[in-house]
Structure 1
Amino acid sequence: MSSAHRFDRGHTDDLLTFLAASPSPYHAVANTAERLEKAGFRQVAETDPWDAAGGGKFVIRGGAIVAWYVPDGATAATPFRIVGAHTDSPNLRVKPLPDTGSHGWRQVAVEVYGGTLLNTWLDRDLGLSGRITLRDGSSRLVNVDRPLLRVPQLAIHLDRSVNEGLKLDKQRHMTPIWGLGPVDEGGLIRFVAEETGTSAGEILGWDLMVHSVEPPAYLGRDRELVAGPRMDNLLSVHAGTAALAAAVTGEQLPFIPVLAAFDHEENGSQSDTGAEGPLLGSVLERSVYARGGSYEDRARAFAGTVCLSSDTGHAVHPNYPERHEPGHLPLPNGGPLLKTNVNQRYATEGTGRAVFTAACERAGVPFQHFVSNNSVACGTTIGPITAARHGIATVDIGVALLSMHSARELCGADDPHLLASVLTAFLEG
């Protein structure tokens, strides 16, 4: 696609803002909730009884959010249209006893989260983000968005063979430094307490991680690319949020549109906030029952439901074309990917392809096919999990990236808006 073929860059500008403001899953959820509230949605608690009132609602559980809109005329058996995504990204996460160091350096003990490209975290200015839990049970967000930590690489003079193959030990080589002096027991949490305006004695728990403080940006001669952190998969969370807000302002909806953004996809989705947990099923069932529905209504609603599992996929890499399936070579700005794997690493089948194709046609958006090279193991998504756990027809889609799971990824600048347009058409039915 030529640089002259430009779509709505206002959407991509807003994506950059969203990425920068969402260094952790908890921030992504908070920012999504804020956007939904501006669109007229209201938060409901899982511990409260739910009523039959229509309109937009959302539930937050940790790093996950599920939002849905009950249109006028919806019955207890009205099917759902779901956009599924995830809020987490591979990174380095702070251990329970974080203060460590040696040889006069103060360091922070971290654990590798997900399948991250370790070398992309080397020699990069890192901030600290996440959440703390206080003595009264409340939580506060943490975002120290300035150069605070760094994982220093060994100089080439001390490893002359490094360019022949860098091998990093996750335990020994990935511990960031953040100062000089002896190990300061309790130092990190005292620092966090100061940054959040609380006292260290009030902090009883934390879920903290590091993030690159370099902001997302347009890239290239014609600014036709975007480089930034956490696009896998906040790009889909952002697009799904925009699509849901747009869909509910349109004409009468034949379905109940849903956004489900889960945590912990990058390590298998097995948690109470992950796609393999009960969250989505619980929300959908309670919505049916709150509208006076029976188990029969629930079964009918689920049978007519379709989920688009929106995650990122691989653009063809110009330096490694042999790693890709030669008949399927997607490029940035070519439109969303339809991801297929006959071994069910992706959930796409022919009927789902028809639904996605119809949404693309309605939106006037081109799409591309992604299939893994037979000699390269295929990744997976929340798609097969959602299909198997809930018996819901599911289609795997996404946006083409380079440098997936890097601390900084790359996509086409037009693709985020193209994806949001297709998701809007899908939710509108």
Structure 2
Amino acid sequence: MSTLLRLATAGSVDDGKSTLVGRLLYDSKSVLADQLDAVRRVSEDKGLGHVDLALLTDGLRAEREQGITIDVAYRYFATPRRAFILADCPGHVQYTRNTVTGSSTADVLVLLVDVRKGVLEQTRRHLSVGRLLRVPHVILAVNKIDLVDYSADAYEAVAEQARALASGLGVDLHTIPVSALAGDNIVERSERTPWYAGPSLLELLETLSPEDVADADFRFPVQLTIRPQAAASGFEEYRGYAGRISSGRVAVGDEVVALPSGRRTRVVGIDLFGEELPDAVAPLSVTLRLADELDLARGEVLASGTPVEPTQDLDGTVAWLGMRPLRAGARVLLKHGTKTVQAMVRGVHGRLDLDTLTPVAAAALELNDIGRVELRLASPIAAEEYASSRTGGSFLLIDPQTGENLAAGMIRATNVDAFAAGDQLDWVI
């Protein structure tokens, strides 16, 4: 059985992300005939001498009119070796928030650069976001290699520039010379780059390993308490807790702890659509039956393995997505797993300078800034450090009045006191 790989594309405006995605879908024979016919007609109407494969992903009318990607476009395709979920993210700085969304669940980030322009500020921003979100694999696709006559020197100059940047961030980077328009090194290795001995983009994507959440500690955020009545449903009356296993595995007979209460119990049943299972593994959605009748509400977590200490104080790094600046004293909602709690920003402790990749002083975070904040929560959550768990260490900040997502956050530390003097700039992603 093929494994599922989630990938996201990112890059600066006009670097060719949508064209690369379209080429990947087309050359892997993942485009339906009617889709291709529609794209061909639109290309002819625009007076192009070729089929504009970018139209396979730029589905919004505003995107086609402006020639840029605005929304995150999700596409599903498969090869004999693997199934893929692909998120084509915007390149314009105004839509960096959408890039954060598309990359948040990705196993691989494919970052495009124009070989003629090299590494730009938006390249730095996207690579920083990839590091911030702990995306396991990053691929640099040096695009438009056909426009420099397939020059090995031009490719290597850009690749070396990117490797130096990635090294400073601690990112393991793969680099590939490609032409999304001509199809070089996208699905098949190109004869026009004999100096490149590595795999094509698709060959590399088929061999990279996705993040294995099944081998992590068991975590089960409760979404709903289910109590079917025997007379109405025909089932034996029982109490079950429904949700999605965010990490790890569980079996009947396992001891689990309910967080934040700390009460312990055993799993006596695992149900899936009326069928009883002996065990279950992430990311399966199931209903768990417990030996004891615990009063579990939405947002509480059943866990085993490494202990988790519930906390009301967080030290986090956030990618700020709100139009208005974030300042100390702001009151927000924090969503962690299935739990939403009130929170207050106790302090803003610097932002990342994307030119130097070093923290600088900042009293507020502006749109698309990446910065460090200190939060105080109204009630405890089962928080984990993002470095050890992407699921248990991530959160959202939400506007309590409008419900708008304000920030994507990553937990650096829990149970922290007020920041010590002089510590404001002493942080890394």
Q: TM-score range by the shorter chain?
A: under 0.3
Q: 1 or 2 for the larger relative contact order (CA 8 Å, sep ≥6)?
A: 1
Q: Normalized against structure 2, the TM-score is what? A: 0.23
Q: Which has the higher Rg, Structure 1 or Structure 2?
A: 2
More strand by share: 2
More helix by share: 1
